């Protein structure tokens, strides 16, 4: 068994780059850090669960208390960007659906092919996918199990940006820098409202937005944002 870490973790400024580091298995599955990027080592982002493990009856080994790959049901407050540098299939697509922003290289592909093996996408694909793309398109992907190109995924709204082959991580870093240009308190509060508004009526969603505003406005960065605007200088965010 290799002693190489399954995940590598690199820090660059306020951005963490998390790399799934099992290319031989096709990547089956801090206050100063403001944004994280999740990518894969090798030509495949993630091919999902190891079918040999499933056949052996060890399905529970693929999940922990945070879901498949320790991610799909994890609650978090910081933005997570998927940098998809190749096929992201089955659980790989479900990992992508657990991220907030998706950047894909032109050679990337997506899909939930579980039906082709008489399985079901059980790590969020069947309910997260129709929240991100039209229901009839999600139905097509789930019932056919066919792979979907990066261009098609971009066209239906799953992918935020396309990059040339091998450039998904660089393009994701550009996204991260754009987010890090803003104060993290306001970023996290905005992200929370976008996620929690689902299922709320307009009055409830408005109240949720008002509370987020109060949180951001009352922070040290809230004061800095106003001061920088009035003084006509770039803001210096502290994350507090």
Q: Residue 215 catalytic?
A: no
User: Burial letters for 95-129: b for 16+ Cβ neighbours within 10 Å, e otherwise?
Assistant: bbbbbbbbbbbebbbbbbbbeeeebebbbbbbebb
Q: Residue 10 catalytic?
A: no
Q: Residue 112: which of 140, 135, 85 has the closest Cα?
A: 140
**What Rg, from alpha-carbon coordinates, does the chain have?**
19
Residue among 94, 196, 202, 210 flagged as catalytic: 94
Residue among 10, 61, 114, 214 flagged as catalytic: 114
C-alpha distances out from residue 5 to 23, 25, 27, Å: 12, 13, 12
C-alpha distances out from residue 27 to 17, 23, 87, 117, 137, Å: 15, 5, 11, 20, 27
What are the catalytic residues? 94, 114
């Amino acid at each position: 068994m290799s002693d190489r870490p399954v995940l590598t973790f690199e820090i660059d400024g306020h951005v963490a780059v998390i790399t799934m580091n099992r290319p031989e298995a096709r990547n089956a599955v801090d206050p100063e850090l403001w944004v994280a990027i999740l990518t894969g080592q090798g030509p495949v982002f993630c091919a999902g669960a190891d079918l040999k493990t499933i056949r052996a009856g060890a399905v529970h080994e693929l999940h922990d208390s945070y879901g498949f790959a320790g991610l799909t049901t994890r609650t978090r407050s910081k933005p997570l960007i998927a940098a998809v540098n190749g096929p992201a299939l089955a659980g790989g697509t479900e990992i992508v659906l657990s991220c907030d922003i998706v950047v894909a290289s032109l050679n990337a592909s997506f899909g939930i092919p579980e039906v082709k093996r008489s399985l079901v996408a059980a790590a969020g694909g069947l309910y997260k996918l129709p929240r991100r793309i039209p229901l009839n398109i999600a139905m097509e992907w789930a019932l056919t199990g066919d792979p979907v190109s990066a261009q098609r995924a971009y066209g239906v709204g799953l992918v935020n940006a396309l990059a040339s082959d091998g450039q998904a991580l660089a393009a994701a870093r550009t996204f991260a820098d754009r987010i890090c240009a803003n104060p993290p308190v306001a970023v996290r509060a905005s992200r929370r409202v976008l996620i929690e508004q689902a299922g709320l009526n307009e009055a409830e969603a408005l109240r949720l937005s008002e509370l987020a505003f109060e949180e951001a406005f009352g922070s040290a960065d809230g004061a800095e944002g106003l001061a920088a605007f009035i003084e006509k200088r770039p803001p210096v965010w502290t994350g507090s």
